[in-house]
A and B are shown apart, each in its own frame.
Chain A
Amino acid sequence: MGVRLRAASVAGPGHVHEGLPNQDAVLIRHGRDWLAVVSDGMGSHRHARLGARATCWAARQAVREQPFDGDDRDLIRALYRHWLARLVSSRVMPADAVATCLLAWGQADGRFRLLQLGDGLILGRPVPAEGLAGRAAGAFGNETTGLGLSRHYSDWRSARGRLLNRGDALLLMTDGISEDLGRTDGLVAAVVASMRGKGARAARAALSRALDAWPTPCHSDDKTVALVYRT
């Protein structure tokens, strides 16, 4: 049994309408271990796109230097410091590049770690079946935090688990998708099933088509998804 990673990201109709680029970013890497990151650059900030891309880069640097069995706080601090360094090198202020961070980092034996800061959703099969992070009780849509805004460890959600059986999976998505979900029960299994028989390129095309054809009225956000599943 192995692990496959798939991802897709499409610009939302709102950005397409205004001629703006996709402000989400996604990264999937598979070597001795594997990594999936999705990030949503907050559209109200000037360098949102850079912030999201820097999140993916920073996550990759952080997992390279941190032990898999290490402390969540150390991993977060490493990721955040790489993100800030990337912005400094681009002469961009953190407040101008606020971005969410959803990360899944795993090993060949199926063990995984999850981190989330800000909106979006990490769903797992079998866990976390209900999603990793819920919004604060009184919050409204798009009322989120992110790198460049949050300074507190308690803003992060984390979990650890294991992909043991064929079909076990993790689905990371930005809030352009998660805010429009009517239900989540069965979603991970459905997305895994839709990947059957598809190579990486065909899988990305299929996911992109599904996101481009999103049926919720007035949907406007960029949409990004990353899938990790056990084969």
Chain B
Amino acid sequence: MAMKDFAMSTARPLPVIILADTSGSMGADGKIEALNQSLRDMVKSFAAESRLRAEIHLGVITFGEVARGHLPLAPAHQIGGIQEFAANGGTPLGVALTLARELLEDRDLIPARAYRPVLVLVSDGHPTDDWEEPFRALLASERAQKATRIALAIGADADEAMLRDFGNDPEVRLFHADNAAEIVRFFRAVTMSVSHSSRSQAPNRPLALDYRRTGADPDELDLEF
């Protein structure tokens, strides 16, 4: 038996999970249409990536009236299409965050060899359920907390404090979109950033390196650098 017979036959995934607000308020001013178009464009762009270093996997969780996973995490080049979402109901963000955490913790869907996942939250309103406890649970999850989190606040009414807390990428501030065109621009920016990352030498590059000295720690090796 040769060494290659022990190798995996599947590529290392770079998971991207979209948490999309499809509540009733997204029906105004062409926002839901912009979201639908943006997701279609994103799937096409990811599918066209060279897959030189990583295979981008895309999943979509919507929250409008109810929260549900619409697109199971799948290789982008294998996604045939994505359904049109309609704007309806309240904003059950808490359930959506729980679904996202469960997905990030699922070692069958996101194996240990996967690159650090990217979680993108897009919302135009205030959550209508208890989102704080599920958010704390996501931040406390050993695995889910490691995802790169980016947020887009749509319109002046969005709960910006919450969305700002959601983001954890020091390179990426909270994005705002006041109209449909800006939603499209945001998705293009995320698509380009993830695509660039999937081609880079370090698809998983840590967001920040902690060099803080920790004082008289018996575990420290007493090295001067």
Binding site for B on A (CB under 8 A): 13-15, 17-18, 20, 42-44, 73, 76-77, 80-81, 84, 94-95, 135, 137-143, 148-149, 151-154, 179-184, 186-187, 190-191, 193-194, 207, 210-211, 213-220
Contacts and interface: CB of A to CB of B under 8 A. Distances in A.
20 contacts: A13-B52, A14-B52, A20-B201, A84-B225, A95-B209, A138-B143, A139-B146, A140-B113, A140-B115, A142-B204, A153-B221, A180-B8, A181-B7, A184-B6, A191-B3, A193-B1, A214-B4, A216-B7, A216-B10, A218-B54
Given A141-B112, A152-B219, A220-B52, A187 B206 contact: no
B196 to A, nearest CB: 13
Interface in B104-158: 110, 112-117, 141-143, 145-146
Nearest to B3: A210
A182 B12 CA distance: 12
Interface residues of B, number: 46
A43 B145 CA distance: 24
B116 to A, nearest CB: 5
A207 B7 CA distance: 14
Contact of A140 (B6, B112, B201): B112
Contact of A182 (B6, B52, B204, B225): B6
Question: Would you call the interface of chain B mostly helix, strand, loop, or mixed?
Answer: loop
B146 A140 contact: yes
Nearest to B141: A138
Given A14-B53, A218-B11, 13 more contacts: A73-B221, A77-B223, A95-B209, A139-B146, A140-B110, A141-B112, A142-B115, A151-B223, A182-B8, A183-B6, A190-B3, A215-B9, A216-B7
Interface string B185-208: 000000000000000011111100
Given A77-B221, A140-B117, A220-B52, A187 B2 contact: no
B202 A180 contact: no
B4 to A, nearest CB: 5
Contacts of B219: 152-154
B16 to A, nearest CB: 13
B9 A217 contact: yes
Nearest to B222: A77
B204 to A, nearest CB: 4
B51 interface: yes
Contacts, number: 139
B102 to A, nearest CB: 14
Interface string B61-72: 000000000000
A43 B206 CA distance: 12
Query: Which A-B residue pairs are the 6 nearest by beta carbons?
Result: A138-B142, A44-B202, A218-B11, A43-B201, A142-B204, A138-B143
Given A44-B205, A143-B116, A181 B53 contact: no
A50 to B, nearest CB: 15
B115 A141 contact: yes
Contacts of B223: 77, 80-81, 84, 151
A224 to B, nearest CB: 13
A106 to B, nearest CB: 23
A153 B4 CA distance: 34
B116 A218 contact: no
Nearest to A148: B225
A218 B112 CA distance: 16
A140 B55 contact: no
B171 interface: no
A76 B221 contact: yes
Contacts of A218: 11-12, 51-55
